[in-house]
Amino acid sequence: MSNYKLGLQFAKEQDQNDALSTYRNQFHIPKDSNGNDLVYFCGNSLGLQPKTTKAYIDQELKDWAELGVEGHLEAKNPWLPYHEFLTDSMAKLVGAKPIEVVTMNTLTANLHFMMVSFYQPTQTRYKIVIESDAFPSDKYAVESQLRHHGFDDKEGLILWKPREGEELLHYEDLEAIMEAQGDEIALIMIGGVNYYTGQFFDLKRITELGHGYGCKVGFDCAHGAGNVPLNLHDSGADFAIWCSYKYLNSGPGSLSGCFVHERHAHDKNLNRFTGWWSHNKQTRFNMRHEFDVLPGAEGWQLSNPPILSLAAIRASLDIYNEVGMERLREKSLKLTGYFEFLMKDLGDDVVRVITPSNPEERGCQLSVQVKNADKSLHNRLTKAGVITDWREPDVIRCAPVPLYNSFEDVYEMVERLKALL
């Protein structure tokens, strides 16, 4: 869609013709002191709360109050298999098979558990490749894994960097890294969508490149799950992880999702940290059995999961299931296209969108650089009723989320920014 127009009337017409516009009513939209809806473009940091979340959590609180421990088997949604109620929806969302997906732990904890299995260094093949501007937690995690295995965390870490004066990464540069050092690299671990620029990587291309050199390949999809079509199974990646509190609207600090490709599903010899929740369900409560690992991603679980957090994720996944990633993606492309169109109208000498202009290489986040701006501009934008987030040194990250943001939100955000400039 390229026939965008300026003016509020166009935005209103797009909202009237938007088949997903009613879903906005299914979310709590934060309001200013006068009771007006804020323009909330921060779903890439913390998604908004579905109105159904309370009922889903209240059901578990009620069953806990009335049943106590019996809730594990007798609750309306029994707690013992509760994580399984999310599996099909989550698998569909990230383009995986049910056996490849589990919801457990938190994001960086899952990254470490995956690296226990998929980072198996030797004295000659031990290096790890990440983006130079990876999310800090990922960088800290892989550095600590290098140290844990007795390697130098600076010498063992290879950074895939943008070219001089650029923000985005080139695949040719990753190919050059692999050509030069591929036989020394044990793991490629990339953020599926870069948190800073919003660049959405070709997961399949990176996986095939890594596997061609005998490396394991994993992705942190925290900014991708619920945002872009990840097609994790088809990518061939060994593993992926993602959080559920951004685009998946499950609440602050909620549980993480985990993908392990089905080719590893029945490999009982794969090194891993284990706990009783990765043990055979049939004999789990007969406490005298030797460890017998579950097949698939469930075999990486450690402990029984927090039900209240799972309930919140389930509330959101049920909405996703109803809408489908295909329709969300379609609206997302229109929203960001419109947003980019309005930004360009402000002039390249004033603002610059550093997110790829090719819609296939981005999700619903646009990272905006404002010339000569500092954080005070972001603070004034917040006071003007627009919730975005700031990333040093000079980027405002804006995410018009297709589930609850409108074309009028996009129009309002740009108008208020224009007024401040």
CATH 3.40.640.10 fits 81-321, yes or no: yes
Beta-carbon contacts of residue 248 (< 8 Å; ≥ 6 apart): 47, 93, 225, 226, 313, 316, 317, 320
pLDDT at 294: 95
Percent of the chain past pLDDT 70, that is, above it, reads: 100
Residue type, 233: H
Q: Dihedral (C-alpha) 61, 67, 68, 71: value to the nearest 10 degrees?
A: -80
Q: 381 falls in which pLDDT band (50, 70, 90)?
A: very high
Segment 78-107, tens digit of pLDDT: 999 999 999 999 999 999 999 999 999 999
Number of H-type helices and E-type strands within the chain: 13, 13
- For the 8-50+325-420 domain, the top CATH level (class) is alpha beta
Strands, E, within 76-196: which ranges? 101-104, 127-131, 157-160, 185-191
pLDDT at 2: 66
Q: 113-117, 297-301, 388-392: which range is least confident on average? A: 388-392
Strands, E, within 70-126: which ranges? 101-104
From the centroid of its chain, how far is CA 154? Answer: 27
pTM (two decimals)? 0.96
pLDDT at 374: 85
Tokens of 284: 């789990």
Tokens of 211: 């596997």
Beta-carbon contacts of residue 311 (< 8 Å; ≥ 6 apart): 53, 56, 57, 59, 60, 77, 82
Q: Break the chain into its structural domains and give their ranges.
A: 8-50+325-420, 81-321
H/E segment holding residue 344 = helix 325-346
Alpha-carbon separation of residue 79 from 8, 93, 126, 308, 360 (angstroms):
49, 23, 41, 10, 40
